Amino acid sequence: MRIHPLIATTADLEALVGRLAEQPFIAVDTEFMRENTYWPDLCLIQVASTVEAAAIDPKADLDMSSLLDLFVDNGDVLKVFHAGGQDLEIIHNLTDKVPYPLFDTQIAAMALGHGEQIGYSNLIESLLGHSLDKGARFTDWSRRPLDKRQIDYAIADVTHLATVFPRMVEKLKKTGRGDWLDEEMERLADSSSFAFAPEDAWKRLKLPSRNPAVLGRLKAVAGWRESEARGKNLPRGRIIKDDTINEIVLHPPKTQDDLGRIRGLSAGWRNNDIGARLISVLAKAKPLDASELPDREPRRPGLTKDGVLVSDLLKLLLKIRSKETGVAPKLIARSNELEALAAGVRKDLKILNGWRFEEFGRDALDLVEGRIGFAIEGGKLKMSRLAKEEVDA
C-alpha cells in the first residue's frame, strides 16, 4: 500500500480524491480535539483504499470540498468507519449530511462474536494478530507541525481498517449475517442523530420534575444554554452545568442579583450580560404544553410480579443464544422488547420478525407460552422442549 506524505494542498487532495472515487470502498478516520470547544476541532482526516492511504491536514490552506463530496454525495463508494459516531458528527457539521453508504466495523463485530463494543485495537489484534502503537493516542492534534510519528500513527488506523474490512465482509457472507446489519447501519446514517434544535436540548437532560412550569423553564434555559454554547463555541458545562440548571428551574431566581447566590454560578452573574440574558429567558418561560409532557417512563406494558420473572428468564435465554451463536445480545434484542414479550405483547416486536425470530424469537415465544423450559445437562444449562402432556397439565 502506498502511503502519501501529509496532504496540505488542494491540488494534491483533488488528485487523491479522484483516485479514491474509483475504489469500491474507503476507510475513514479523523483526529480532533473538543475538550475546550462546543464544536469538535477537526485536526486531521485519514483515508485509505486497498492501494493507498493518506492523512489530510484540514488546518492547511486547502479546499476540502472534493473530499467532503466524496464522503456524502458519492453513492458508489462505501465509507468504512470503526465506532464512527464522532467522525460522522464532524462530517455532518461540515456538510449537513451523513456519509452514505457506510459501514461500521464495530457494529459488524457484534455479529461476528467480538462482543458489543470492541475497541479498535482489540479488533485489529483479534483479526490481524498484532498490536497497534498507542504512543500518540493522547497527542495534541491541533499543534503544528505534526511530526512523522504522529502522522504514521494516524494513518495506521485506516490502513489496518482497509485490511480488516474485506475479511469481515467475507466472514459475514460465510455466516449469512450480512443482511442482519442493514438496520443498524441505516440507524447510524440517520442525520437526526447529529442535528437537533436548541429548543429540544431539554430532552437530553435528566428531568428534575414533571411540573409543567418547571419543565417550561427547563426547556427555555436548556435551549438558551445550547445557543450560548454554540455561539461562543464552548462546552455546555462551561456555560452552566446540568445540576445548576436543575437548581435554577426548580427554584427560579426572582432578580439577577439572586444569581450570585446560586451554587455553580460566580458572583459576577449578578451584574454581567450573560446573567441578564438568563433572567430574561426565565421571565419569558411558559409552562410546558400538555402535548409536550414526556412519559414518566419509556412506554412499556405493565409487568406483573410473574411477568418480571418471565422477563428475567428471557434475558437468560438471550445470554444462552448469544453464546451459542457468537452474536452480541444487543444486536439480537433489547430489554424493553423482552419485557414487552413477557407482558403479552406480540405485535411490532423486532424479535418476532426476520433473522431475529429465527435466531432467538421463536424460542423466546415458546418459552413465554410454555412450550420449552430450562434444563441442566452435563452441568450445562440448556433449553428443553416440553412434551405436550406437560404443557397441557
DSSP-derived letter for residue 357 is I
Cell numbers at 278, concatenated: 438568563
Percent of the chain with pLDDT over 70: 95
Average pLDDT, the chain: 91
Count of alpha carbons within 13 angstroms of residue 389, beta-carbon side: 0
Residues ≥6 apart with Cβ < 8 Å to 197: 223
Residue 283 has pLDDT above 50, yes or no: yes
**Short-list 154, 156, 105, CA closest to 127:** 105
Residue 180 has pLDDT above 60, yes or no: yes
Backbone angles phi, psi at 290, to 5 degrees: -55, -35
Residue 275 has pLDDT above 70, yes or no: yes
Backbone angles phi, psi at 59, to 5 degrees: -90, -5
Place of cell 493522547: 138
Q: What pTM does this model have?
A: 0.85
Segments in 176-304 forming alpha helices (H): 182-188, 212-232, 236-239, 242-250, 273-284
Angle 322-327-330 from CA coordinates, rounded to 5° = 80
Quote the longest CA-to-CA distance of the chain: 80
Rounded mean pLDDT, 121-140:
81
Rounded mean pLDDT, 13-37:
97
Helix (H, G, I), strand (E, B) or coil at 46: strand
Digit-coded pLDDT (tens) for 315-367: 999 999 999 889 999 999 999 999 999 999 999 899 999 999 999 999 999 99
Count of alpha carbons within 13 angstroms of residue 390, beta-carbon side: 9
Digit-coded pLDDT (tens) for 136-178: 667 899 999 999 999 999 999 999 999 999 999 999 999 999 8
Helix (H, G, I), strand (E, B) or coil at 348: coil
**Short-list 102, 5, 87, CA closest to 45:** 87
